Chain A
Amino acid sequence: MPQQKTKRIKTTITVNGETREVEIEVPDIEAAWGDPRNMRWLGKRIPRVEGADKVTGRAKYTYDIQLPGMLYGKILRSPYPHARIRSIDASRAQRLPGVKAVITDLTREVKYVGEEVAAVAAVSEQVARDALKLIRVEYEPLPFVVTPETAREPSAPRVHGGQNVSGGNPRERGDVDSAFRRSDVVVHEATYSVPARSHCCLEPHGLVCQWQGDKLVAWASTQGIFSVRDELAGALGIPASNVRVICEHMGGGFGSKFGARSEGVICARLAKHAGAPVKLMLEREEEQLATGYGPGVTAKVKIAATRDGQLIAWESESYGSGGVGGGSGIPLPYIYPVPNVRTRHYDIATNTGASAALRAPGHPQASFIMESAMDDLAHKLGMDPLEFRLKNDPNPVRQAEYRLGAERIGWHRRNRVAGQAPGVVKRGLGVASAIWGGGGGAGSRPTVRIDPDGSVEVRLGTQDLGTGTRTYVAAIVAEELGLDIRQVKALIGDTDYGYSGASGGSTTTASVAPAVKMAAMAAKERLVAVVSQHLQANPADIVLADGKLTARGGSEKSLTWQQACALLGKEGIEVQGEWNANLQGSGVAGCQFAEVEVDTETGKVRVVKIVAIQDCGLVLNRLAVESQIYGGVTQGLAMALYEQRLFDEQTGRMLNANLEEYKLPGSLDMPDVEAIVYDNPTGKVSGMGEPPVIPTAAAIGNAVFNAIGKRIHSLPITPAKVLQALGKV
């Protein structure tokens, strides 16, 4: 038997929670995406295959699932930021007509407002709400602290008993002190901060759980159907094979929807106790209090460059807060290589809900801090901020993107001296950059099935967060088999299909697409083998295009797709595919330019235009990539101008736990966004869902500086901060 060809690739592995890079040997199976110029579907602007279902309401999200006899679950949450629970009396709730199940064993101590205390299932949402009001909980309030600033004080109440401030291990390379002391350098020092931001998924977290004997079916709004399956099975003490999780459509996760989560286990338990299916979807206030947020960070920064603009030293001390959890670290210095570096980062515990991964965790925060410092230093050096970046960013893709973006925004129109724009309403331009991995990994097991009647299905247990997974899954198969995309049924979002990983870290496309491509190639090979025999042609000469299989270079005989599939016999073709490292790549680059107007009398900032450029290697669906860019810019603009979680230090409550006082941009707040997909001819697919959110806020902040000549050091850039910076209040 011939030995299979292998090759060595670099990969990251996680052992005992520690991630490191290693070289591994993988099968070297010949596979390539081919020339995008010759493709019918891939790389083009493909409307979502489920688009009509979504706009007509036919698409069923978890929120839309209705089952016969279904009950409604509700969770009683702590009104205290820290308290011991002395007793819970749910007897009145249990006696309320319509209440079918009550759970009171969730915790004996709560550490944030909104933590789960008890839960009920009832015949309607209103009865469930009424039942929660009848549960009597005796709390023993304990000392608490809800803001990072107060939590850092030595006398602050201790969130976990020990110190509130942890971390702070120095990370250092080069000779930082000597670099800052050099006579030929310009040094800039400042403090920048970014507040915590909520995910604001349009579809809230939640599930519908239905027991069928000892088996559980769960519809979940999730980024990982298999991770929900495994965690529910573990928590409920049943085999994973007894749990089926379905997520056909979902309304956003942004990093906050991995695993079963508290409400998942509660929902399944309520359904078990009640002997009926239960829907438990969280309300907006619960979303704000108990489903995570991106940590806020404050960083004291010192940065130096030589007088000709070469970065030479960086020092930062940063503090972040993930509430009762951690995870507030940020990658500093960001993007631009600095030879001499010293950083310290501290996590601060507070009595607020736990943070969670939020679209490019830590990167938008690092971007605002680094890019603000870069611009401030360029100002001191008397350099054009773009020229400063071109000098310090070695990435060839971003070098090209900077030049393209400068042309599209009209960089020559910037104020040569910041703040010297004429008039009351001043215009300014800013720039910032993005970096991401975007590579994928093994594990996805898609199946492609061709039936003798010509129908084609591709099945995979991945999930579409709204990013367009279903569409490119169908497009890849259609491309390979020479079909119209409407001839391919893409079935995803169900653990009854083949395994696929959770969707996070922008890894989905680079993990799923290669496996689907390999399955489609295998299906094509089988079909071609049958057809070539029938046409008495060489298999290599069979071309699949426009719904036909044609023998090129000889007889030119052809079969229609239906005629070809009819040759397959009753069993048809059913093949699996596996991930192929040759088809994916990592290391994507982007940058954004912002143009703003600042009203120096009202302090209001209006973003006029964003030029957003992003590469992702080989583009599968240009329309979907543009959509990701629009979404990223929207969230980045929200971060720049609007978002902040406000807490009352006296009560420990969040003051804007809604979508009214928690500010997000509306359609009238959105600028002209020019989304440019940079075609990077790697021939490999990479993920790009996260990077477009990274540089927007920093680019806007730099544009404001260019407009008014004053740096707003903390986000969001509110009218009050602008007026304060201008000395008008």
Chain B
Amino acid sequence: MNARCKYLRTKMDYVARAAVASDAPGLADVSSQKHFWCLRTMKPLGPDGAPADDASCATGRECFVAEGEA
């Protein structure tokens, strides 16, 4: 699994969750239902103007900083 950028956020980072079982039988792409933002811009765009999301914010992007790094 790729490291996550320390500046990437969704609301799920802030709400308390456990045992959120669902009997939804769908095959939804859960990731695509998330709304991301970048803490450096407070928008769904990174400082480079490209989208901020779990697919785009990856190692190799200039603005990427892994969680736990300074």
Mark A residues whose CB is within 8 Å of B.
9-12, 14-19, 21, 24, 107, 109, 111, 160-161, 167, 169, 171-173, 223-224, 226-227, 231, 234-235, 255, 258-262, 264-265, 292, 322, 324-338, 341, 343, 345, 347, 349, 354-357, 361-362, 366, 395, 435-444, 500-505, 507-508, 511, 579, 581, 584-587
Q: Which residue of A lies closest to B31 (CB)?
A: A329
> What B residues does A265 contact at CB under 8 A?
42
Question: What residues of chain B lie closer than 8 Å to A167, measured between beta carbons?
Answer: 29, 32
Q: Which of B1, B14, B26 has the most CB of A within 10 A?
A: B26
Hey, which chain B residues are within 8 Å of A501, CB to CB? 14-16
Q: How far is the CB of A124 from chain B (nearest CB, A)?
A: 26
Please indicate which of the listed interface residues B4, B21, B35, B45 has the most CB atoms of chain A within 10 Å of its own CB.
Answer: B35
Residue with the greatest number of chain B CB neighbours at <10 A, chosen from A9, A331, A511: A331
User: In the complex, which residue of chain A has the Cβ closest to the Cβ of B54?
Assistant: A17
Given contacts A260-B42, A334-B26, contact A355 B21 (CB under 8 A): no
A501 to B21, CA, bound (A): 19
Give a binary string over B3-31; 1 marks a CB under 8 Å from any A CB, 0 the rest: 11000111111111111111111111111
Chain A residues with Cβ below 8 Å from B45 are: 111, 324-325, 354
A260 to chain B: which residues have CB within 8 Å?
A: 42
Partner of B17, one of A226, A435, A439: A439
CB-CB under 8 A from B24, the residues of chain A are 331, 334-335, 435
Sample 19 A-B pairs with CB under 8 A, ordered by A number: A12-B19, A15-B1, A16-B4, A172-B27, A173-B27, A223-B11, A235-B39, A262-B41, A265-B42, A325-B36, A326-B36, A327-B34, A334-B26, A345-B29, A357-B11, A395-B23, A435-B23, A439-B19, A587-B22
Alpha-carbon separation in the docked complex, A201 to B37 (Å): 20
Instruction: Decide if B61 is an interface residue (CB 8 Å cutoff).
Output: no
Q: Which residues of B contact A (CB under 8 A)?
A: 1-4, 8-37, 39, 41-45, 49-54, 67
Contact assessment for B19 and A9 in the assembled complex, using a CB-CB cutoff below 8 Å: yes
Question: Inside 8 A of A354's CB, which chain B residues have their CB?
Answer: 35, 37, 43-45
Q: Which of A262, A326, A584 lies in contact with B51, CB distance below 8 A?
A: A326
Contacts of A322 in B (CB 8 A): 35, 44
In the bound assembly, the distance between CA atoms of A484 and B55 in angstroms comes to 52
B57 to chain A, nearest CB (A): 9
Residues of A within 8 A of B19 (CB): 9-12, 439-441, 581, 584-586
A611: min CB distance to chain B, Å: 23
Q: Which residues of A are found within 8 Å of B3, using beta-carbon distances? A: 16
Chain B residues, Cβ within 8 Å of A12: 17-20
| CB < 8 Å neighbour of A504 from B14, B50, B51, B54 | B14
Report B-chain residues with C-beta under 8 Å of the C-beta of A223: 11
Residues B36 and A440 in contact, CB atoms below 8 Å apart: no
Would you give the shortest CB distance from A314 to chain B, in whole angstroms? 9
Complex CA distance for A171 and B26, rounded to whole angstroms:
10
CA distance A440 to B18 in the complex (A): 6
Q: B51, A439: Cβ atoms under 8 Å?
A: no
For B52, the chain A residues whose CB sits under 8 A away are 325
Q: Which of A16, A173, A345, A505 contacts B12 (CB 8 A)?
A: A505
Could you say which of A16, A235, A437, A579 contacts B20, with CB atoms under 8 Å apart? A437
Find out whether the CB atom of B42 lies under 8 angstroms from the CB atom of A261.
Answer: yes
Bound state CA distance, A235 and B43, in angstroms? Answer: 13
Note all chain B residues with C-beta closer than 8 A to A585: 19
Q: A326-B51, A347-B32, A356-B35 provided; 8 other pairs, C-beta below 8 A?
A: A324-B51, A327-B33, A335-B24, A354-B44, A366-B26, A442-B16, A504-B14, A586-B19
